[in-house]
Amino acid sequence: MALQESLAKFKKQQEKCQSTLTSIAAKAVSSKPSVPQNFTPAAPTKPPTPAVKFSNDTERLQHINSIRKAPVGAQIKRVIDLLLETRQAFTPEQINEACYVDMTANKAVFDSLRNNPKVNYDGKRFSYKSKHDLKDKSQLLVLIRKFPEGIAVIDLLQCTGGFTGFESCRAGLAAVEL
């Protein structure tokens, strides 16, 4: 019996919310400037407007929520991946727009990225900081000669912003006289 009463109460609340949304939508449509209308009380009324949905993009909102509820480490990885892929400097607001990690609301993520050795923070923007700062092919040659035992390809790919992909890196290495 209590379950039926709860269900009836819930349905009433849903109807009330739906009527409130409908009236808000009707006010928004009527508040737009338009040609003045002559209202006649004898005129037939329009059928009620269709029900307004609470959200058309529920999946996207659930995805954003799952990212923001994720552990701090997972959020940091998303931001570092974004910075690595784009090689651009982002403000916290731009990071929020790009990968849905709200750094202004989550101080732990902000502080961790500020102190992360792979991330450069200049006071306003975050950018990716590679292990070796290379500007051109001659610096690449110096780096390779500095490590006679070899250097990890992943380190080369991360530090050579101008080279995209292993083949471009190999082409860059071939262009440098060893």
CB atoms within 10 A of CB 150: 7
Inter-CA distances, 164 with 28, 79, 153, Å: 50, 20, 12
3-state secondary structure of 119: strand
Domain total of the chain:
2
Tokens 């039926």 correspond to what residue?
A: 4
Query: 143 or 74: whose pLDDT is higher?
Result: 74
pLDDT above 60 (res 34): no
Burial bucket for residue 160 (CB in 10 Å: 0-12, 13-18, 19+): buried
**Is the domain of 73 the same as that of 118?**
yes
**What pLDDT sits at residue 140?**
78
**Is the domain of 105 the same as that of 164?**
no
Q: Does 41 reside within a domain?
A: no
**Is the domain of 123 the same as that of 147?**
no
**What pLDDT sits at residue 49?**
58
pLDDT in tens, 135-176: 777 877 887 888 888 877 777 776 665 554 445 555 665 655
pLDDT in tens, 77-99: 999 999 988 989 999 999 999 99
Q: Does 166 reside within a domain?
A: yes
Burial bucket for residue 156 (CB in 10 Å: 0-12, 13-18, 19+): buried
Average pLDDT in the 12-22 region?
85
Q: Model pTM? A: 0.54
CA distance 118 to 33: 53
Q: Does 1 reside within a domain?
A: no
Query: Which tokens in the block code for residue 56?
Result: 């058309």
Residue 32 binned pLDDT confidence (cut-offs 50, 70, 90):
low
CA distance 32 to 52: 18
**Is the domain of 114 the same as that of 159?**
no
**Is the domain of 106 the same as that of 159?**
no
Query: 42 or 156: whose pLDDT is higher?
Result: 156
**Is the domain of 80 the same as that of 104?**
yes
- The residue from 92, 109, 128 where one domain ends is 128
**What pLDDT sits at residue 50?**
57
Query: Which tokens in the block code for residue 135?
Result: 């500007």
**What pLDDT sits at residue 123?**
92
pLDDT above 50 (res 63): yes
**What pLDDT sits at residue 165?**
44
DSSP 130: -
Q: Does 29 reside within a domain?
A: no
Q: Which domain CATH number covers 97?
A: 1.10.10
Q: Does 102 reside within a domain?
A: yes
CA distance 137 to 157: 13
**Average pLDDT taken over every residue of the chain:** 79
Q: Which domain holds residue 87?
A: 58-128
Q: Does 118 reside within a domain?
A: yes
**Is the domain of 88 the same as that of 148?**
no
DSSP 44: P
**Is the domain of 118 the same as that of 163?**
no
**Is the domain of 117 the same as that of 69?**
yes
